[in-house]
Amino acid sequence: MPSKIIYNCEVINAGYYVTSADLLGETGEQLTESQLRFEVNGHKIGIKSLLKVGRKIHIEFEETRALSLLNFDVKKFVNEFYYPKLI
């Protein structure tokens, strides 16, 4: 498993989203796309592309509302967001 995950966020046409992640670790070169699964609140996040460079794996996520960082809960009066979890 990776020793560190860095999430990358961007402003895209749909809003402010987590668009990709960089996985760093000793075993990074051994992981394949079929071994990687990301979820947000139990919803699987699709992987658009995967690029391996040394010990680093760069993953581009498919655009989905679950990756939005602007989800305002009116009842709680707070902005709620969740980063994808590597399962």
Angstrom distance (rounded) from CA 67 to CA 62? 9
Q: Count CA atoms closer than 13 A to 22's CA, side-chain side.
A: 8
Angstrom distance (rounded) from CA 85 to CA 39? 5
pTM: 0.77
Read off φ and ψ for residue 62, nearest 5 degrees.
Answer: -70, 145
pLDDT digits 0-9 by tens, 6-65 = 999 999 888 899 999 999 876 545 666 777 889 998 889 999 999 988 888 999 999 998
Q: Count CA atoms closer than 13 A to 41's CA, side-chain side.
A: 8
Within 10 A of 16 (CB to CB), how many other CB atoms are there?
14
pLDDT in the model for residue 27: 54
